[in-house]
């Protein structure tokens, strides 16, 4: 059902884009819309991950520089049936994370230093599992296309007066009033569709992430901690680039903008409630590990990656300066 809903919403967004091109420029406008959509999507398909990671100053790490975080991610990726993604850390005090990449073979997971400083190992594992679920579901590509088409609609809206003037002289289409209405309503409609697609994919990633990590309660706890951190700590780079907000596990703009009425993320309380129901269905009543191998002995150690207390995920030079969580 989630996939069908996403496909329907993507079709609606594409239809809005084409209709806007046609209404503003007739057949030539629709053709121009096709050219713009094709060019922007092709560019985004090949370059969106590098652009996004560069935008946030992400630094790649490996087993030598971040062994605990790398090994945890590798283990969870294996559980998910995915190749090991590229792993990045961002110097940012707001706790958050995102995944990007056009397919599982070219994917990347980025986590903020604020998240690694604040959260327990179990919560970090839940967040990483959620991002791997996005990769497995190919949401990173879906959201890139969605953001690109929505951005193209806004760009075409900015040229609405030009198209309307040309067509009005030829008595071929909507006049100045209709064009102004399109300039206002089309980007708003695109934003709402983008919001609906993102919310649908977040619920799906939460559920699959709970399965991958073995205990949905870990992710539920992580979401609650992230929500608190995001409200307490602003993310300046996200504020300057609001189109990237749907990619994060928690909306980085929360509490900072009036347009949060149209938030691209589901209510965190609803997400937590869904994860708690999932845990109950899996027979889980607490935070103990419920993975596919190792059961009790691994639970006693804190998880399958040997969660010894006092071990930090952050390599040298990556501390954000904030107090670390209970495992740091």
Comparing 75-84, 99-108, 140-149, the range with the smallest average pLDDT is 140-149
In-domain check, residue 311: no
- Give 65's Cβ-side CA count (13 Å radius): 10
The two most distant CA atoms of the chain are separated, in Å, by 78
168 is catalytic: no
Q: What is the pLDDT of residue 220?
A: 95
Of 188, 144, 172, give the one whose Cα is nearest residue 40. 144
Q: Which residue has the higher pLDDT, 243 or 309?
A: 243
- Domain membership of residue 109 (yes or no) is yes
84 contacts 289 by C-beta, under 8 angstroms: no
Whether pLDDT at 78 is above 80: yes
**Structure confidence at residue 288 (pLDDT):** 62
Pick the most confident of 22-36, 277-291, 301-315: 277-291
Q: Assess if residue 313 is contained within a domain.
A: no
For residue 17, being part of any structural domain is answered with yes
In this structure, the dihedral spanned by the alpha carbons of residues 281, 271, 234 and 56, taken in order and rounded to 10 degrees, is 70
Kindly indicate the confidence band of residue 320, based on its pLDDT and cuts at 50, 70 and 90.
Answer: very low
For the segment 261-287, the average pLDDT, to the nearest whole number, is 85
Residue 29 tokens read as 């406008």
Q: Residue 312: inside a domain, yes or no?
A: no
- Note whether residue 143 is domain-resident: yes
**Higher-pLDDT residue of 15, 223:** 223
Q: Is residue 63 part of a domain?
A: yes
Instruction: Give CA angle at 134 (37, 132), nearest 5°.
Output: 140
Which residues form the domain of 196?
Answer: 2-301
126-174 residue pLDDT tens: 999 999 999 999 888 777 777 667 766 766 666 655 555 454 444 445 5
- Model pLDDT for residues 177-228, shown as the tens digit of each residue: 666 666 677 677 777 776 777 777 899 999 999 999 999 999 999 999 999 9
Q: Is the dihedral of CA 40, 45, 50, 52 positive or negative?
A: positive
What is the share, in percent, of the chain residues with pLDDT greater than 70? 66
In this structure, is residue 327 part of a structural domain?
Answer: no
Q: What is the pLDDT of residue 295?
A: 35
Q: Are strands 108-112 and 97-100 parallel, antiparallel or unpaired?
A: antiparallel
Q: Among residues of the chain, what percentage have pLDDT more than 90?
A: 40
pLDDT of residue 317: 58
Q: pLDDT tens digit string along 47-60?
A: 778 888 999 999 99
pLDDT at 193 (0 to 100): 72
Number of domains within the chain: 1
**pLDDT, averaged across the chain:** 77
Q: Which two tokens stand for residue 74?
A: 């590798």
Question: What number is the average pLDDT over the span 62-85?
Answer: 95
Q: Categorize the per-residue pLDDT at 15 as very low, low, confident or very high, splitting at 50, 70 and 90.
A: confident
Q: Where residue 262 falls among pLDDT bands split at 50, 70, 90? A: low
Q: Which of 93, 131, 227, 298 is catalytic?
A: 131
pLDDT value of position 210: 96
Buried/exposed code over 5-40 (b: 16+ C-beta within 10 A; e: otherwise): ebeebbebbbebbeebbbbbbbeebbebbeebbeeb
pLDDT of residue 325: 40
Predicted local distance difference test score (pLDDT) of residue 258: 41
């Amino acid at each position: 059902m989630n996939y069908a809903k996403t496909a329907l919403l993507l079709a609606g967004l594409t239809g809005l884009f084409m209709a806007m091109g046609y209404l503003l420029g007739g057949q030539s406008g629709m053709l121009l819309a096709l050219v713009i959509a094709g060019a922007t999507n092709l560019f985004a398909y090949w370059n969106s991950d590098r652009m996004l990671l560069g935008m946030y100053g992400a630094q790649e790490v490996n087993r030598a520089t971040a062994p605990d975080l790398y090994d945890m991610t590798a283990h969870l990726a294996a559980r998910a049936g995915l190749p090991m993604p590229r792993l990045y850390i961002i110097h940012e005090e707001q706790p958050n994370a995102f995944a990007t990449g056009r397919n599982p073979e070219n994917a990347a997971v980025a986590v903020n230093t604020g998240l690694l400083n604040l959260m327990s190992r179990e919560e970090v594992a839940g967040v990483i599992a959620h991002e791997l679920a996005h990769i497995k579901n190919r949401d990173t590509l879906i959201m890139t296309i969605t953001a690109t088409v929505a951005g193209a609609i806004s760009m075409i809206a900015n040229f609405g007066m030009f198209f309307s003037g040309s067509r009005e002289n030829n008595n071929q289409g909507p006049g100045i009033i209709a064009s102004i209405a399109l300039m206002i309503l089309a980007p708003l409609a695109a934003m709402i569709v983008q919001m609906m697609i993102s919310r649908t994919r977040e619920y799906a990633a939460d559920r699959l992430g709970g399965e991958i990590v073995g205990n949905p309660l870990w992710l539920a706890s992580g979401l609650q901690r992230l929500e608190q951190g995001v409200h307490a700590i602003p993310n300046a780079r996200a504020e300057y680039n609001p189109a990237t907000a749907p990619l994060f596990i928690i909306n980085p703009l929360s509490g900072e903008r009036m347009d949060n009425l149209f938030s691209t993320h589901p209510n965190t309380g609803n997400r937590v409630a869904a994860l708690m129901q999932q845990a109950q269905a899996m027979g889980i009543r607490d935070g103990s590990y419920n993975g596919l191998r190792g059961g009790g002995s691994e639970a006693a150690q804190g998880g399958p990656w040997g969660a010894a207390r006092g071990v930090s995920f952050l390599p040298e030079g990556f501390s954000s300066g904030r107090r670390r969580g209970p495992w740091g």
